[in-house]
Amino acid sequence: MSETVRPGVLYVVSTPIGNLEDISQRAIRILKDVDIIAAEDTRTTGRLLKHLGITKKLLSYHSYNEARRAPQLLALLTDGKSVGLVTDAGTPGISDPAFEILRLVVENGIIVVPIPGPSAVLSALVVSGLPFHRFVFEGFLPVKKGRATRLDRLKNEERTVVLYESPHRILKTVNDIRTVLGERQITVARELTKKFEEVVRGTVSEVLTRLESKGPKGEYVIVIAGVDYESGAAKHSNN
Ligand code: SAM
């Protein structure tokens, strides 16, 4: 049974991370029916909406204007408008803006409805071959300050760790992982759901050699085995 969009409700809508077919029927209907779509980049979302045949009023928000946009969106919601919240790709708030908006609207008693869908973190985990019954998502490592400390804190982490990385820093980050965490098993997933999707598994050195030989291109997720993985403790455990 299809639900109707409710006035004054914020819908957090996940969108594809590459392949445009990865959008749910429900997401399409919600995007069609809401009064306004708040988008991280109106051009990117405009392209998706065009592909879906949707014409809609778009309001942009970015990490740098989110604090200013949040009260405006709250006012629209309080006024009874229904709003769809999207980012450029995947699930809003996952290494993306959205949190400031979500915090403010939740604090003000607005109903928030998730419209689940793609996220690179889960897609990478399921193809990693590493245990993911428990995992830690670290997002992007800091570019400069705090980078070493953050990696150092992961040294004794038992759970599988997931990082996001850009093509500019993937080699440096995998190198830093080897320096700080040692020769762990890792999986690097590139361009998931896209034409050049690739999953490389092995020790950090093996993966690094492969990445260096291919040249860094595209978007990356790094999945790192927890500290006890090699001992077998976590390999087959499901709890
Ligand atoms: N909100 C998104 C999500 O739910 O996954 C993440 C947005 S974040 C700004 C972008 C980063 O996510 C990229 O640098 C990369 O690390 C990861 N990512 C996004 N799409 C990806 C894809 N198709 N393949 C691999 N990694 C991806």
* Distant-in-sequence, close-in-space partners of 47: CB < 8 Å, separation ≥ 6: none
Q: 209-219, pLDDT tens digit by residue?
A: 999 998 889 99
Quick one: which atom of ligand 1 is closest to the CA of 190? Answer: 25
pLDDT at 230 over 90: no
Between the CA of 16 and the centroid of ligand 1 the distance, in Å, is 10
The dihedral over CA atoms of 206, 208, 209, 210, expressed in degrees to the nearest 10, equals: 90
Mean pLDDT of the region 128-140? 97
CB 170 less than 6 A from any atom of ligand 1? no
Question: If you take atom 2 of ligand 1, which residue's CA is the nearest one?
Answer: 90
Do the strands 111-115 and 185-190 form a parallel or antiparallel pair, or are they unpaired?
Answer: unpaired
pLDDT at 150 over 90: yes
pLDDT at 185 over 80: yes
For the entire predicted model, the pTM comes to 0.95
Domains of the chain plus CATH, in order, are: 9-115 (3.40.1010.10), 120-238 (3.30.950.10)
